[in-house]
Each structure stands twice: as structure tokens, then as C-alpha cells.
Amino acid sequence: MANKRIAGIIAVLLIGSGCAAVWHPSIAPLAARPAFPTEQIARGAELAAVGDCAVCHTVSQGRPYAGGRGVPTPFGTVYATNITPDPDTGIGQWSEAAFQRAMRDGIDRAGRHLYPVLPYPHFTRASDDDIAALYAFLMTRAPVHQTTRANDLPFPLDNRVLLAGWNLLYLNTGPWHPDPAHDADWNRGAYLIEAIGH
Ligand code: HEC
């Protein structure tokens, strides 16, 4: 009897944590694009270069950051999205909180799971300031109206809900911890490689 009750409690806990991991609220759209200090934008440009954002998010001969490049995975192709500030097809309606959630937890503004082809398991270690700088940089690029094509993934991998399970197993969120055995320069380099350079 006691065993059954314990099994029941465990089942309820698992289902509860599963639902919490699957469901994420949508974050309200931005009404207007904010302005950013020039130094923050410049810092974001450097970080975007270290993080190779343009490499995945631009097709050859395409407009920078407008997306469309197919990133092959062992299961199929995931297309990098438009991360220019176009309000309809890019991230123009994303608040900084929405951007930070995508970078840290792999959840888009609407609350959908993103494939870990976007290296959020690494970006999750990035500092608030660095994520804010990347956001400032992207939100001040020229908006490009370009819809990203649908991913080529077989059933059931085309179902983003499965990523909640992947995240529970593999995503380890939390800040980057400096190694006290090394100096600040070493740690800054290690952080850039691990958290931004992925
Ligand atoms: C290895 C390729 C790769 C790199 C490098 C990369 N991304 Fe992505 N990114 C993707 C893919 C693929 C998606 C779409 C994932 C999906 O559809 O689930 C994506 C999605 C996103 C999204 C969500 C956008 C949306 O419309 O849902 C944001 C924001 C983003 N990336 C920002 C960045 C930033 C900032 C950098 C650099 C610091 C970066 N990415 C580097 C591949 C990459």
C-alpha cells in the first residue's frame, strides 16, 4: 500500500514537472524599438563576432542576420531564423526579457521551444550585460522582411514539445563560474570561448 502511494506521488510530481518544463508563457510584444548607447552596440558587435551569430543566421550573398541558412543535424535540417529587428518576420517585437529567455533557456517569444542548434546550452552562461549588448546590437541592425522556411525534420522530431525532455536531461542553466586558480584575463578568455564562442 505504502509503495503504491509513493509511486503515485512520484507520478504526480513527474507529470507536474513535465508540464512546467513544456509550457512557457508568451512574452508581450514590444510597442516600439528602444534606443541603446553606442558603446553597448559596439560591445554587442564584438560579441556577435565571437559568437558567430552571422555565420548561421545569414545565407551566402544574403542580408546579414536575416536567417534562412540550413544547419544540418544528424536528424535533418534546422533553419536559422531572421534575427533582424523586423517586427513581423524577425525579432522586432522581442523585449530584452524575451531575447534573454531565448539565449538562456531556448524558448522563443511566443513560448515555443527552440532547437539546441542555436547554442543556448552555451549562451546560458553569458552574463546579463553581454546578452543585453547582443540584444542592443541586433535591435539596431537594418530590419529585413524575410520569412524563415520550415525545418526539415522527420516526425516525431518536428515536435518542439520533445525539446522540453531534452532540456530536462541536458540543459544546465546558471552563470559561468571563474576559475580562481587563474587571473582575470585568463578567465575572461575562457568565459568568451565557453559562453559566447560555444
Ligand atoms: C550553429 C548555428 C547558430 C549560431 C552560431 C547561432 N545561432 Fe541563433 N539560431 C540558430 C538556429 C538554427 C535557430 C532556430 C532554432 C529553431 O528553429 O528552433 C536559431 C534561433 C535563434 C534565435 C530565436 C529567434 C526566433 O525567431 O525564434 C535567436 C534570438 C538567436 N538564434 C540568436 C543568436 C545569437 C545572438 C547568436 C550569436 C551570439 C546566435 N543566434 C548564434 C542557429 C545558430
Kindly tell me if the per-residue pLDDT of 9 is higher than 70. Answer: no
Ligand 1, pocket-test mutation among 30, 47, 59, 83, most atoms within 8 A of CB: 83
* R_g over Cα of the chain: 19
Check residue 91 and give its pLDDT: 98
> What was the pLDDT predicted at 5?
73
Q: Which atom of ligand 1 is nearest to the CA of 91?
A: 26
pLDDT in tens, 19-71: 667 789 999 999 889 999 999 999 999 999 999 999 999 999 999 999 999 99
Q: pLDDT, tens digit, for every residue of 80-126? A: 999 999 999 999 999 999 999 999 999 999 999 999 999 999 999 99
Q: Which domain holds residue 180?
A: 2-196
Number of domains in the chain: 1
pLDDT surpasses 90 at 2: no
Tell me, yes or no, if the pTM score tops 0.85.
yes
**Structure-model confidence comparison of residues 90 and 10, the more confident one:** 90
Choose which residue among 57, 77, 151 to substitute to test ligand 1 binding: the one with the highest number of ligand atoms within 8 A of its C-beta: 57
